[in-house]
Amino acid sequence: MKLRTSRRLAAVSMTAVAALTLAACSSSDSSETEESAEATAAATDEAEASESAGFPVTLDTTMGEVTIESEPQSIVTLGSHEHEYLYALGVAPVAVPVSWQGYDNGTGPWAEEDRIAAGAEPETFEPGATTYDAEAIAAFSPDLIVATYPGHTMTQEEYDLLSGIAPVVTRPATDSEGNETVEWGVSLADELTLLAQATGTTDKAEEIIADIDAQFTEVREAHPEWEGLTSQVGGYYEGQAYVYAANDTRNQFLANLGLNTSSIEGADEAWLQISAEQLDVLGDLDSVVWQVATDPSAVDSLQELPLFDSLNTTETGGNVWLTDPTLEGAFFANSPSAIEYSLAAFVPMLEQALDGDPATEVVEYADATAGS
């Protein structure tokens, strides 16, 4: 009896072990199947999310067509203001160039609210003043490189090198009217639209553009007397006065206020240098915004030029001195947040400068938060 019982127990034990083994295998297979199904579902969700955001997308840029397969997660910017455009769109780049004005996070205080809202804590780096540092850029493992407002003209060789790291978005090939774009002269709307397409944020871009248009329209409607008045943005460098081209973003800002910034013949390049003897080419302008914050001594240098007192802007009080570094930075940045900052600063100064009364003091803007 004991022998039979032992055999019976052994048989039962072997049967139990076999059952447990089969159960374990079944459980393992089921777990692997579930994991595989979950991975497939996740990949499908990601693909559907990219497709719903407009990806893949092919952009027509000045360096040729570039295709972005899926929504970028690791963006590196190479220019002075592209990151501020991305902040406005709610996109957080992982790395941006160091600020030319020494600000933290690569940008000025006007864009801090947008940066924080986007959750951006970018690393800053020196992209290279005359040649891009591909090794430094590659170290951030980008899946998109943005250079719509670069620090220097990008060569084909540089573009090809950087494209080996990630898709590179340069300025749009044409503007909204189908005209070929010029370097450093792309409108905010055209640049923002391109970056929105690259990041799947087109709806947000449309809202921003509509809001900025409304702000400019409000100023124009409040000042119909500005329509057609002539203006320019200029400065003083290495012994010569200069003005920017009409398509420069700073002159675009003035044009959006209703001012005519295209009356200076020959100012169709990035900028036009003007010798002391030729200063009278500015003679009939109604206003000039003199950008002198970087070099305050330029104010005296300009006023000491022999023909300065004969300018219409001097006789009518139309000179606007841009002496505040923060405003200079925002005016140059031309991002959505910078536009709002610049409007609040410039409108009062232009109201004083364009009233036609030389006795009206043009109170120079000073950032009340500077140094706080």
Q: How many domains does the chain have?
A: 2
Domain at 236, CATH number: 3.40.50.1980
Q: Residue 39 has what pLDDT?
A: 55
Instruction: Tell me whether residue 11 is in a domain.
Output: no
Same domain, 209 and 227: no
Q: What pTM, to 2 d.p., does this model score?
A: 0.85
Helix axes 336-353, 202-222, angle to 10 degrees: 10
Print the domain residue range for 182: 57-213
CA neighbours within 13 Å on the CB side: how many for 276? 9
Structure tokens at 221: 């409607």
Domain limit, last residue, from 213, 236, 261: 213
- H or E segment to which residue 293 belongs: none
Same domain, 201 and 156: yes
Same domain, 275 and 305: yes
pLDDT digits (tens, 9 = 90+) for 336-363: 999 999 999 999 999 999 999 999 999 9
pLDDT digits (tens, 9 = 90+) for 287-336: 999 999 999 999 999 999 999 999 999 999 999 999 999 999 999 999 99
188-191 own/partner pairs: CB under 8 Å, 24+ apart:
188/212, 188/249, 188/252, 188/334, 188/335, 188/336, 188/339, 191/85, 191/148, 191/149
Cα 355 to Cα 278: distance, rounded to the nearest angstrom: 27
Instruction: Tell me whether residue 363 is in a domain.
Output: no
Provide the pairing of β-strand 57-61 with 64-68. Answer: antiparallel
Q: Residue 16 has what pLDDT?
A: 39
Cα 245 to Cα 182: distance, rounded to the nearest angstrom: 11
Q: How many Å is the maximal CA-CA distance in the chain?
A: 129
Same domain, 78 and 192: yes
Instruction: Tell me whether residue 124 is in a domain.
Output: yes
Instruction: Tell me whether residue 132 is in a domain.
Output: yes
Q: Residue 281 has what pLDDT?
A: 93
Mapped onto helix, strand or coil, the DSSP state of residue 145 is: strand
Same domain, 235 and 314: yes
- Could you write out the DSSP letters of every residue in 151-198? SSPPPHHHHHHHHTTS-EEESBSB-TTSPBP-TT---HHHHHHHHHHH
Q: Residue 369 has what pLDDT?
A: 80
Q: Residue 74 has what pLDDT?
A: 98
Cα 348 to Cα 367: distance, rounded to the nearest angstrom: 14
Same domain, 231 and 341: yes
Domain limit, last residue, from 161, 184, 213: 213
Same domain, 277 and 163: no
Locate the DSSP E strands across the chain: 57-61, 64-68, 75-77, 95-97, 123-125, 144-147, 168-170, 231-237, 240-244, 271-274, 287-291, 319-322
Mapped onto helix, strand or coil, the DSSP state of residue 278 is: helix
Q: Residue 184 has what pLDDT?
A: 87
Same domain, 209 and 236: no
Peptide bond into 56 cis (omega under 30): yes
Same domain, 64 and 201: yes
Same domain, 271 and 333: yes
Same domain, 239 and 280: yes
Q: Residue 32 has what pLDDT?
A: 54
The segments of the chain whose pLDDT lies below 70 read: 1-53, 266-270, 371-372
Instruction: Tell me whether residue 28 is in a domain.
Output: no
Q: Any residues with CB less than 8 A from the CB of 85 and at least 6 apart, and which?
A: 148, 191, 192, 195, 335, 336
Q: Residue 41 has what pLDDT?
A: 56
Mapped onto helix, strand or coil, the DSSP state of residue 279 is: helix
Instruction: Tell me whether residue 369 is in a domain.
Output: no
Q: Residue 40 has what pLDDT?
A: 57
Cα 141 to Cα 107: distance, rounded to the nearest angstrom: 22
- H or E segment to which residue 257 belongs: none
Same domain, 74 and 122: yes
Instruction: Tell me whether residue 316 is in a domain.
Output: yes
Q: Residue 125 has what pLDDT?
A: 96
